[in-house]
Amino acid sequence: METKTRYTIAISALFLSLNTQRKYHKLVKIENSLVASKLGILFALTTSTYINFKGESIELDDSQLLALQDIFVQHFNVNMATEIHKLAKITDDIEESNLSSDSNQGFIKKIKGFLKIRPKIQESPA
């Protein structure tokens, strides 16, 4: 069965690195919550896979790493290829069939959003 190499990236380190790069290029810093929302949206639109960037870490495969690099270039105006490769730690190779788009569920949310989210209550049939 085909396997894919998976990489784990710590979100706090990724965002810190992003703002370090932006500052180096004399661009303004961006707050973590906005970076997380933008990345969540852009990554899903680019790869058809939703990843929660508000957690502690993300897991990506090779093609997703490239997609992430491209998003940083297009939407954050910095090339993060080197930084991403430094930050990406190989996790266990897992079977492709186990790849899950919601692999970040269950992590404690580190980035506080603005919106009060109530759990959705399923309406009972009349």
Partner 1 sequence: MKYPKDNYEHPSVTKIGGHNIIGGLNRVYHCNFYNAYLQMAVLLTRGVGQQDPSDLLTDSVTPLIKILKQNGYTNLDLIQEFSYCGFGILEQLDELHWQTPRSHYGEVLCSHSKPHNSCYFTAGYIQGIVDKKIEEVECKLLDTAADKFIGYNETISLDNYLIYDFALQTEIPQVFAFDGCQEFNTQVDEVKIISELEKIPLCGNYNSPATGLIEVFNTVLTNHFADYYNRISYETYFALCDAGIPEEDSKEMFIQAGHVCAFNTFGRIMCSTEWYNLIVPMCQNKDDWLHGMVAIINILGWGVYRIEKIEVEKELIMRVYNSYEGIGFRRMYLPEKVGNDKNTSFLAMGAILGLAHLLWKIDIRDKPELTQDFYVKQFNNPDNSYIIEQTDSIITGDNYDRFIVSK
- The answer to whether residue 4 forms part of the interface with partner 1 (CB under 8 A) is no
- The answer to whether residue 42 forms part of the interface with partner 1 (CB under 8 A) is yes
**Residue in 3, 13, 20, 45 binding partner 1, rule: CB under 8 A:** 45
CA 85 to chain centre: 14
- The answer to whether residue 87 forms part of the interface with partner 1 (CB under 8 A) is no
**Residue in 17, 21, 32, 104 binding partner 1, rule: CB under 8 A:** 32
CA torsion 44-45-49-52 (nearest 10°) is 0
Provide, rounded to whole angstroms, the least separation between the CB of residue 60 and partner 1: 18
- The answer to whether residue 25 forms part of the interface with partner 1 (CB under 8 A) is no
CA distances in angstroms from 53 to 1, 2, 56, 69, listed in the order given = 29, 27, 8, 15
5 or 37: CB nearest partner 1: 37
- The answer to whether residue 61 forms part of the interface with partner 1 (CB under 8 A) is no
| Cα–Cα dist 122/89, whole Å | 40
Alpha-carbon torsion (115, 116, 117, 120), positive or negative = negative
2 or 118: CB nearest partner 1: 118
Task: Quickly count: other Cβ atoms within 10 Å of residue 120's Cβ.
Answer: 6
Q: Where on the chain is the footprint of partner 1 (CB under 8 A)?
A: 19, 27-34, 37-38, 40-42, 44-46, 50, 74-77, 111-118
